[in-house]
Amino acid sequence: MSEKFLEIRNITKVFQTPEGGEVRALDDVTLDIAAGEFFILLGPSGCGKTTLLRSIAGLEYPDSGEIVLQGQRIDDKPPYDRPVNTVFQSYALFPHMTVAGNIAFGLEMENVDKAHVATRVSEALAQVRLEGYENRMPSQLSGGQQQRVALARALAKKPKVLLLDEPLSALDLKLRRGMQVELKRLQRETGITFVFVTHDQEEAMSMGDRIAVFSEGKIVQLDTPVEVYRRPVNAYVADFIGETNLIKGTVASGGIALPGGNILPTDQLAADSVIPASGPVTVAIRPEDLVLATNGMISGTVRDVIFTGDSVRVYVTVGDVEIIASLASYGTEIPAQGSQVTLNPENRAARTVAS
């Protein structure tokens, strides 16, 4: 990775609520984004990710901190002076302009000469595979097509950073998957740095080079999708990214005492798990890391079995908690509801997490 490209330094932004309270949308956030990176800001709504995106765009001014792009401070500049462009969640296409008019608008602001504008408009439309739609009005387009126009409009400006604010959230699942692939392709082809806001962890993992997981205005974890998934720093991340069984236990001799009198030996936990000398501890096990075993370590009663096609989800009551195991659809004997089963965590994938 090259040296610093987009630096977010100690950004804080506080909003006043109408009731007179305060919300720390961003609380001393610092992060570096590399050139050409597909960077994801992930978190639930209200976690500050969109505020950060809008601060980079210049639509929001942080209370303190700096935003530096290629060594130049941009946080005090108006949006029209920043070489960044945004694809809005609502698309925000100008309804009184044609598709070509929408895309040309940003270029006209740069005083690009007319002949050149036309070329760049058709270039941008080709990039998003909407050739021939120049003279349509936005109202005549489907949601997916509007999305592409919004993308083309921002890309036509050839920004240094493209900001995407949950651009796919209004599309149906199939279209969304298709657009995810296309966005990856576009990012590769253009080499533009993408900063992508989403609350969808699956989307984040499938697209991002790196993910910053936000909670209450702070970055909780910043890492590659694989690391964030495999090594969540705490229960919040483990729960937010993918599906996780979070089981509360206590440290006992030789392992961790789980509900229902089960003992999970320490040598079954991930090697880098931090195990306190005594006291309560939370164990995180992904459903797909559990397998049925004879004489397994975790025994319980099958409450429900759901066949989803590619997997079988088994809901097992263990003591006073419920554990979900996602078993491979083929080669597994599907346990009957009400039967006693024992489960084993595979490949030392279970780990302790800070709660």
Partner 1 sequence: MTAVTTPTKKPVTRARPGQSSPKLAYLPIIFLAFAIGIPLLIIVVYSFLEKPSQGTGVKWVFTTENYRALFIQEKLDGTTAFDTRYIKVLWTSFYYSLITTVVTLVFSVPVAMWIATREARKRTLLVALVTLPFWISILIRTYGMRQIIADEGPIGKFLGLFDISWSILYSPPATILGLIYVFLPFMILPIYASAERFDFRLAEAAYDLGAKRMTVVRRIILPSIRPGVISGVALVFIPALGSFLQSDMLGGGKTNMVANVIANNFGQARNWPFGSALAVLLIILTLLFVLIIQGIAQRRGDKVELV
What angle is formed at CA 170 by the lines to CA 165 and CA 174, rounded to 5 degrees?
115
Nearer to partner 1, 87 or 323 (CB): 87
Site stretch for partner 1 (CB under 8 A), options 52-60, 122-130, 188-196, 244-252: 52-60
Q: What is the CB neighbour count within 10 angstroms for residue 172?
A: 10
Footprint (CB under 8 A) of partner 1, residues 139-198: 153-154, 157
DSSP, res 11: E
Q: Tell which one of 95, 132, 279, 309 touches partner 1 (CB under 8 A).
A: 95
Q: Tell which one of 92, 170, 246, 270 touches partner 1 (CB under 8 A).
A: 92
Dist CA 153 CA 211 (whole Å): 26
Count residues near partner 1 (CB under 8 A): 23
Site stretch for partner 1 (CB under 8 A), options 35-43, 93-101, 123-131, 231-239: 93-101
Site stretch for partner 1 (CB under 8 A), options 7-15, 84-92, 200-208, 236-244: 84-92
Dist CA 205 CA 191 (whole Å): 19
Q: Tell which one of 43, 48, 58, 167 touches partner 1 (CB under 8 A).
A: 58
Dist CA 306 CA 292 (whole Å): 15
Instruction: Classify residue 132 as exposed, middle or buried by CB count within 10 Å of its CB (0-12, 13-18, 19+).
Output: exposed
Footprint (CB under 8 A) of partner 1, residues 200-259: none
Q: Tell which one of 52, 57, 69, 212 touches partner 1 (CB under 8 A).
A: 57
Nearer to partner 1, 60 or 209 (CB): 60
Contact call for residue 96 and partner 1 (CB under 8 A): yes
| Structural tokens at position 262 | 């089960």
DSSP 194-214: EEEEES-HHHHHHH-SEEEEE
CA dist 148 → 91, 97, 124, 156, 229 (Å): 9, 16, 10, 12, 30
Footprint (CB under 8 A) of partner 1, residues 260-279: none
> What is the Cα Rg of the chain in Å?
24
Nearer to partner 1, 139 or 295 (CB): 139
**In the complex, minimum distance from the CB of residue 273 to partner 1, in angstroms, rounded to a whole number:** 45
Half-sphere exposure of 11 (CA within 13 A, CB side): 31
Nearer to partner 1, 23 or 233 (CB): 23
**In the complex, minimum distance from the CB of residue 169 to partner 1, in angstroms, rounded to a whole number:** 15
Contact call for residue 79 and partner 1 (CB under 8 A): yes
Footprint (CB under 8 A) of partner 1, residues 101-140: 105-106, 109-110
327 bridge partner residues = 312
Nearer to partner 1, 168 or 205 (CB): 168
- Give Dmax over CA atoms of the chain in angstroms: 77
**Residues of this chain that bind partner 1 (CB under 8 A):** 18, 57-59, 78-80, 85-86, 88, 90, 92-96, 105-106, 109-110, 153-154, 157
